[in-house]
């Protein structure tokens, strides 16, 4: 048996749930903003950032010492290979044009 749903009550319930969600979001957003604004957190964030830079530099130096390419090196090499491939295709196209012109 199907139960009749009162549309006005359903809309009212949704409104109450929406209001609760909005209030919860405001409270949580306020708490997060307060936490992020604290000087102690900002100092910690700066320390984490500088530590990350030191770690990245040390990893790069270790990879360089072991003659292992870094991601940056591989990305750069990939770009060079792509550029050379494009040039090779252009040269191949020109050669094909010359062969076709010679054949006529």
Neighbouring CB atoms inside 10 A of 77's CB total 11
Segment 42-52 shows an average pLDDT of 84
At residue 8, does pLDDT exceed 80? no
Which pTM does this prediction carry?
Answer: 0.41
Say which residue, 63 or 36, is predicted with more confidence: 63
Contacts of 30 (CB under 8 A, 6+ apart): none
At residue 80, does pLDDT exceed 80? yes
Contact 35, 41 (CB under 8 A): yes
CA-nearest of 51, 73, 50, 52 to 63 is: 73
Neighbouring CB atoms inside 10 A of 63's CB total 15
Q: pLDDT band at 82, cuts 50/70/90?
A: very high
């Amino acid at each position: 048996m199907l139960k009749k749903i009162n549309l006005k009550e359903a809309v009212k319930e949704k409104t109450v749930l929406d209001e609760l969600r909005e209030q919860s979001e405001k409270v949580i957003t306020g708490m997060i903003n307060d936490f992020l604004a604290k000087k102690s957190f900002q100092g910690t964030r700066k320390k984490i950032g500088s530590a990350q830079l030191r770690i990245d530099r040390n990893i790069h130096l270790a990879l360089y010492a072991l003659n292992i390419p870094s991601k940056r090196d591989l990305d750069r090499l990939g770009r060079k290979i792509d550029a050379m491939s494009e040039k090779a295709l252009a040269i191949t196209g020109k050669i094909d044009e010359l062969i076709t012109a010679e054949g006529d």
